[in-house]
Structure 1
Amino acid sequence: MHPVTAIPASPWLARCDTVLGYLTEIPAALLVLAEICVLFAGVASRYVFHTPIIWADELASLLFLWLAMFGAAVAFRRGSHMRMTAFVDKARPDTRSFLDLLAIVAALTYLVLIVHPAYDFAVEEMMVTLPAMDISNVWRASAIPVGVGLILAMALVRLASFANRKLAVMVVVAAALLVGALVALQPVLAGLGNLNLLIFFVGVVGLLVFSGVPIAFAFGLATLGYIGLTTSTPVGVVIGRMDEGMSHLILLAVPMFVFLGLLIEMTAMAKAMVDFLASLLGHVKGGLSYVLIAAMYLVSGISGSKAADMAAVAPVLFPEMKRRGFKDGEMVALLSASGAQTETIPPSLVLITIGSVTGISIADLFTGGLLPGVVLAVMLGIVVWWRCRRNTQAVDRKATWRVIGKTLVIAVPALALPFVIRAAVIEGVATATEVSTIGIVYSVFVGFFIYRKFDWRRVWPALVETAALSGAILLIIGAATGMAWALTQSGFSRQLAEVMTHLPGGAMGFLAVSIVAFIVLGSVLEGIPAIVLFGPLLFPIAKQLGIHDVQYAMVVVLAMGIGLFAPPFGVGYYAACAISRISPSEGLKPIAGYMLALTVGTVLIALIPWLSIGFLR
């Protein structure tokens, strides 16, 4: 989300903006630092001293929601919330200015509508006690109304800073009248049944997203409209679902890996790794694209979050890729596609969820997930080769073995990082959430004592940047979780299962429709909610049709991954853009070829069962 103006117009507004900056950036940075300390202390106490801190996870969860909301506020002030600007960028200056204003008013409308329900939610949580810490849950839940209030204040400052005050007032009045008209039409909308799903989750979301409204606020407005205008469910329930979506402790890996990525670059570890990889593939056209695909395959599943995986890889490779002439859109498109490619790589949370809700052996799912990831990596590699065969991107002369050996020796401490992280998970030293802190401590040690490069002046900006980037991602996830819950309550899931039971074409027809259906579902529900919702309904149908459980799981997971990382609705795509600091509009054209390749690969896995079950005992 681009700021309307870089600096508020009047001195008074400038002071307000500065104060809001201090009120959000300082706590956000300190919260990132506190989370690192709490998580690492939990690992050390449990593994080294054999005296687990029983309240560590509760404290981490409490601090995490505050980090998410303060980070979202920092991102709003910086104008870094993700928005689709494909049409905004091509518009005339006056139209672009109007769309920027519309984005602010839409965000303001959403914030005004949820500020009171957010306060009520926090008050209700006052009666809940956190068992390990023995304090009221209001200490955690208050983060939502406080964060909403801060972003609301920032939106008002941003609105007051708009140059054309008359137009600003007109758009605000128009938004208020539109909300009033929709409330007046509530009886009509309530009688439309599931047609409202198309109206709100396709029509409204599509209109807002392509108008340049930040993704999180577009999702949130559509969900509020559907719940408030077409059902009898209290709007406050949306806040609970938002809290649920943003509070999964596994998502704490996102800010940790974002900071780890910044730390790797800060300590010269990234340069050492890139120098070695460049010595191997620098003479190959598109060589670092292949490195990106392979790197995502290797780190996938370490954190349990695709956003965290991307945050660990992108900061290492993107600066060198830019130096070699790669375009921003091509890089973010490949990063997003490689996120979808690695959805089946163990240990995958989606595969674990499938096993838990369907009874399929998780060991079989892990075994079956390795080869499909390779198949999709090959498909992406083919697209990279095709696009790079005539490119004039900078390539180096083929390095000698002596140069390769020298760069390898220098890079060994840096290259050891993913192995240290993976060993910590496999050996049970740390959970998927905690393991990033081991990487952070390792990186600090290597930076200080081996590479001797650690700039203290860059630590604070890195903490603030981590909070802002994480907040932007987590707010999208929270809004998407609310939307997923609304779809669940509509009965849409059971209706879909009923239709798919009676499809023509037998097993192949069922697989074909499953691919299409889960691409769509993945774009709005993400992996775990979609599996919990549809897994128990559809897996028995697949088994009746003679489709192996593991094969069907691979097809479903990969299809959902394509939906999750495909624009314009895929949350994963916007996470990739946020991590890369690249506008979503840049990647729209190049990502199409990669998504086609992933779809072809998924079809191959559907047609050839051996690719999924060939290594099962």
Structure 2
Amino acid sequence: MLLVLAEVCVLLSGVVARYVFHEPIVWSDELAAILFLWLSMLGAVIALRRGAHMRMTALVSRCAPGTRLFLDAFALAAALVFLALLLMPAWEYAAEEAVIVTPAMEISNAWRASALPAGTVLMLAVCVVRLLRCGPAGKVLPAVLAAVALALAFWLMGPLLMPLGKLNLVIFFAGVVGACVFAGVPIAFSFALATFGFLALTTRTPMVVLAGRLDEGMSHLILLAVPLFVLLSMLIEMTGMARAMVQFLASLLGHVRGGLNYVLIGGMYLVSGISGSKTADMAAIAPVLLPEMKKRGARPGDLIALLSTTGAQTETIPPSIVLITIGSVTGVSISALFTGGMLPGLVLGLALCVIVRRRYRNEDLSNVPPISRSQIGRTFLVALPALALPFVIRAAVVEGVATATEVSTIGIAYAVLAGLLLYRQFDFSRLPAILVETATLSGAILFIIGCATGMAWALTQSGFAHDLAEAMTGLPGGKYTFMAVSLVVFIVLGSVLEGIPAIVLFGPLMFPIARAVGIHEVQYAMVVVLAMGVGLFAPPFGVGYYGACAVGKVDPEEGVGPIWGYMSALIVGLILVAAIPWISIGFLDS
């Protein structure tokens, strides 16, 4: 609770000092980064204690009760194995960071890095306690022994794995990850186990490097927008702003079949890119719409499927951190990328609307009363302060008042004032639970991102990226074949790599090839970003999909079936963007 409140106060103070008093607080970002790693790790601890880490239970839920208990215990034991292996590298990493002095506050960086070993110890303790409470010892002990035996078996096979070279990529990043995911091991620990095994058994990389990659993935300041937007979304609900917005939107589209689904698509388009994180974007809008949509009979699985695919749809909407990254590593004009990014997102959004119309063409609206124009006007006036929030946030970013990370604190301050002064709804007794829930949900999401970052780094070091670029250079068929293969490759890569690390890795390699075969660099950027977005939100490996499930509090299994219709629409839209250059570059000269 205190860490969440401290982050809000530190960042908001920095905005006020810089923009109002023109006296920047030079240490605000540094302090926020120190607190952020502690918030991420302690949030991951609470998430593990509450069983809130995302896991795929499609197979586990269909097993007999005895088998299900075994697999649940095995999932905890697998997490325990990784945490035990990580403990010493995390300690060594914190010790190495002790000699580094932070530039602004001039304190040892160990104050920040100590969050890794501290969080690891606490998660180890939580795993032990949960295993003791999981069930009878006769059922739990075999699962623990199985997890330990598998780890030992891989260790003993180390001399045999080393000579296999690139085949180890398939063994660990397809075999181990796939087996763990479908056995019900939390997604983050599935990624982490495969990465640790690959690095420890097939390379000579010190494991302290993996601890550093976890730190990098979990504590990037841009990701601080995740807990802050999660908090903002909860405040929007508590203060009555969400209810006012939903009532107005329902008054406009309530008589249309699937109307609120269209609102979700448009709303994600509106808020996308504000935070720099798709998970934060979803956290900002999902709690506003999903409860009302469930009341109207929409299935949670279908809602989470649509939420996930809207996250992929809006990857190119400015101000997009991914587009900024592409511009910085490839030399493409960022202003051109921003101009070219609006229409591709709209094309994919329209494709999603086609699926919504088909799925909800028989929606029962008999319980939805007709709304008069005067009622629409009244609901609009009530909702106006709430509807203004996305515009306030976007204006603050565009006008340079706040960074993509800081802007969420402006939204939080706005929501608090609106709740206290306008809507007169602010339940202080709910605030502690909201702050703890913010930390829990954020910890689960950020730990997945941290482990995915470690896996991305391992793939980089394997030479996989360079080999892929060389293979694509020699493809026959010119730009059409290159574009088609790029679509497939980046969808696959998007399912295992976060957008920014992947762009940093592949951008300098692939964009020169695209230019050489005659593809406009802005169009290729749109195709790459959208293709990786599709992969990022496609189960069973897409990290973004599990982030959406965490935000919507829906079991991942429920959305696996419904998501493929929406994914098909995204792929059709993606093919249109790839086939028609005008969609991406038509407005560049205007």
Instruction: Say which is worse superposed, 228-237 or 85-94, in terms of deviation.
Output: 85-94
Instruction: Say which is worse superposed, 554-563 or 500-509, in terms of deviation.
Output: 500-509
For residues 147 and 362 of structure 2, the distance between their equivalents in structure 1, rounded to whole angstroms, comes to 50
| Residue of 150, 161, 164 corresponding to 1:192 | 164
For residues 404 and 135 of structure 1, the distance between their equivalents in structure 2, rounded to whole angstroms, comes to 57
- CA apart distance, 1:395: 5.6
Per-residue CA shift, 1:425-483, capped at 9, x if unaligned?
Answer: 11111111001001101111010011101000110000000000000000000000000
Per-residue CA shift, 1:195-235, capped at 9, x if unaligned?
Answer: 00000000100000011100000000000000001111112
- CA apart distance, 1:394: 6.3
- CA apart distance, 1:393: 6.1
Name 2:301's counterpart in structure 1: 329
Name 1:305's counterpart in structure 2: 277
| Residue of 590, 594, 605 corresponding to 2:562 | 590
Name the amino acid aligned to 2:51.
Answer: G
Instruction: Say which is worse superposed, 519-528 or 196-205, in terms of deviation.
Output: 519-528
| Residue of 544, 549, 560 corresponding to 2:516 | 544
For residues 318 and 213 of structure 2, the distance between their equivalents in structure 1, rounded to whole angstroms, comes to 28
| Residue of 427, 443, 446 corresponding to 2:399 | 427
Match of 1:50, SS?
coil
1:39 aligns with 2:11: yes
Name 1:265's counterpart in structure 2: 237
For residues 414 and 107 of structure 2, the distance between their equivalents in structure 1, rounded to whole angstroms, comes to 34
| Residue of 147, 161, 182 corresponding to 2:133 | 161
Name 1:455's counterpart in structure 2: 427
1:389 aligns with 2:355: no
Instruction: Say which is worse superposed, 291-300 or 526-535, in terms of deviation.
Output: 526-535
Instruction: Say which is worse superposed, 449-458 or 164-173, in terms of deviation.
Output: 164-173
Q: Is the 8 A contact 2:69 2:139 kept in 1?
A: no
Name the amino acid aligned to 2:530.
Answer: L
Name 2:552's counterpart in structure 1: 580
Per-residue CA shift, 1:369-415, capped at 9, x if unaligned?
Answer: 00000000000000000111123366623321111001001001111
Per-residue CA shift, 1:161-220, capped at 9, x if unaligned?
Answer: 132202322222232222222112111100100000000000100000011100000000
Name 1:378's counterpart in structure 2: 350
TM-score when normalising by structure 2: 0.99
1:75 aligns with 2:47: yes
| Residue pairs, 1:392-431, within 5 angstroms | 392=364, 396-431=368-403
Per-residue CA shift, 1:270-292, capped at 9, x if unaligned?
Answer: 00000000000001111100000
Change (3 A) 1:386 1:395: farther
Name 1:109's counterpart in structure 2: 81
Name 2:487's counterpart in structure 1: 515
1:369 aligns with 2:323: no
Name 1:251's counterpart in structure 2: 223
- CA apart distance, 1:55: 0.3
1:478 aligns with 2:444: no
Name the amino acid aligned to 1:442.
Answer: Y
Per-residue CA shift, 1:314-370, capped at 9, x if unaligned?
Answer: 010011011101111001000000000000001111111111111111111000000
For residues 173 and 101 of structure 1, the distance between their equivalents in structure 2, rounded to whole angstroms, comes to 10
Q: Is the 8 A contact 1:343 1:558 kept in 2?
A: yes
| Residue of 30, 34, 57 corresponding to 1:58 | 30
| Residue of 333, 351, 358 corresponding to 2:330 | 358
For residues 332 and 395 of structure 2, the distance between their equivalents in structure 1, rounded to whole angstroms, comes to 26
1:558 aligns with 2:530: yes
What is the root-mean-square deviation of aligned Cα atoms in Å?
0.9
TM-score when normalising by structure 1: 0.95
Percent identical pairs in the alignment equals 65
| Residue of 271, 280, 287 corresponding to 2:259 | 287
Q: Is the 8 A contact 1:564 1:571 kept in 2?
A: yes
Instruction: Say which is worse superposed, 182-191 or 214-223, in terms of deviation.
Output: 182-191
- Count of residues in correspondence between the two structures: 589
Name the amino acid aligned to 2:371.
Answer: A
Q: Is the 8 A contact 2:255 2:365 kept in 1?
A: no
Change (3 A) 1:393 1:245: farther
For residues 62 and 268 of structure 2, the distance between their equivalents in structure 1, rounded to whole angstroms, comes to 33
Instruction: Say which is worse superposed, 229-238 or 555-564, in terms of deviation.
Output: 229-238
For residues 143 and 282 of structure 2, the distance between their equivalents in structure 1, rounded to whole angstroms, comes to 38
For residues 285 and 394 of structure 1, the distance between their equivalents in structure 2, rounded to whole angstroms, comes to 11
Q: Is the 8 A contact 1:39 1:437 kept in 2?
A: yes
Name 1:20's counterpart in structure 2: none
Instruction: Say which is worse superposed, 181-190 or 277-286, in terms of deviation.
Output: 181-190
Instruction: Name segments (4+ residues, structure 1) moved above 4 Å.
Output: none
Match of 1:86, SS?
coil
- CA apart distance, 1:64: 0.1
For residues 240 and 530 of structure 1, the distance between their equivalents in structure 2, rounded to whole angstroms, comes to 18
